[in-house]
Amino acid sequence: MIDKRQKKNDDADVSIDQKLIEEGTAQLNSEIQVLESWLTELDSSEEESSEVLAARKSYSDMLSSRKEMLSTLAKQSKLQSVSQN
């Protein structure tokens, strides 16, 4: 009886983890799209002020960070699916 309850709890934890991974992936993809759009706007701007350069650097750093997080989540998702099988 205890084994069945433990299995049920383990399944719930896995599905919650998978749900969080899916939500995180969707959020990161959305943020990546926004940052790429902002960078495109800055690149098309002819202004090269220190503020534009700082914004471009900041957005590029954020974009790089989001892509790294997305990659990490993808790896975690693969690990989750392997551990479920």
Q: With contact defined as beta carbons under 8 Å apart, do 66 and 31 qualify?
A: yes
Long-range contact list for 15-23, CB < 8 A, 24+ apart?
Answer: 17/80, 18/77, 18/80, 21/73, 21/76, 21/77, 21/80
Q: Are 39 and 53 in contact (CB under 8 A)?
A: no
pLDDT per residue over 43-85, tens digit each? 998 888 999 999 999 999 999 999 999 999 898 888 776 666 5
H-type helices in the chain, by residue range?
2-44, 50-84
- Write down the pTM of the prediction: 0.74
The structural domains of the chain, with segments of one domain joined by +, span 52-85
pLDDT in tens, 7-42: 555 555 556 688 888 899 999 999 999 999 999 999
d(C-alpha 73, C-alpha 39), whole Å = 24
